[in-house]
Copies of this chain bind each other. A is one copy, B any other.
Amino acid sequence: DLIASGGLADTAIGVGVDEELISAVPSHNRTFVSRNFTENEVSYCQTQPSPASSFAARWAGKEAVFKALGVKSKGAAASMKDIEIVNDAETGAPTVVLHGDAKAKADEKGISKVLISLSHSETVAIAFAQASKAA
C-alpha cells in the first residue's frame, strides 16, 4: 500500500510568507535578542557574515512559521522563542524545531512537518514556511 511503497503521504495545510526590513529588527538590542531567539540561534547568527541580516531572516522565519501553523504570533513576546530555526549539520539548510505553545498547537492540528526557507538582500529579509500533516 501507500505506506509500504515509500513513506507516508502528507498534505500541506498552511503556508506562510513574511518579509522584514533588516533595519526594523533591533538585533543590537540584547533584551530583544534574548527574549526572542534561543541560545543556538544567537550563536549561529553572531558567527554569520552579517549578524543583523541573519537575525532578521530568522525573525521573518518565525513569523512565517506562525502563519503556516495558523496561529497568531505574539509579536515581540517570549513565544517567538517557541519557533526555533536551526541549521542542518550536513546541508546547512534551516530547519524548524517547535517548543512550548507552538508545539502544542501544531500537535493539536496534527502537523507533523514544517519546512522553511530564508533569504535576504542587503536591506530586506524574506522567509517561507509550509506546515503539513500526515494524510
* Residues on A facing B (Cβ under 8 Å): 1-3, 5-21, 24, 63-64, 67-68, 70-72, 88, 91-93, 110, 115-122, 124, 126-130, 132-135
Contact = CB atoms under 8 A, between A and B. Distances in A.
Q: Please tell me how many copies of the chain the complex holds.
A: 3
A135 to B, nearest CB: 3
A120 B10 CA distance: 30
A12 B9 CA distance: 9
Contacts of A126: 17, 19, 119, 126
Contact of A17 (B13, B119, B133): B119
Contacts of A122: 21
B64 A91 contact: no
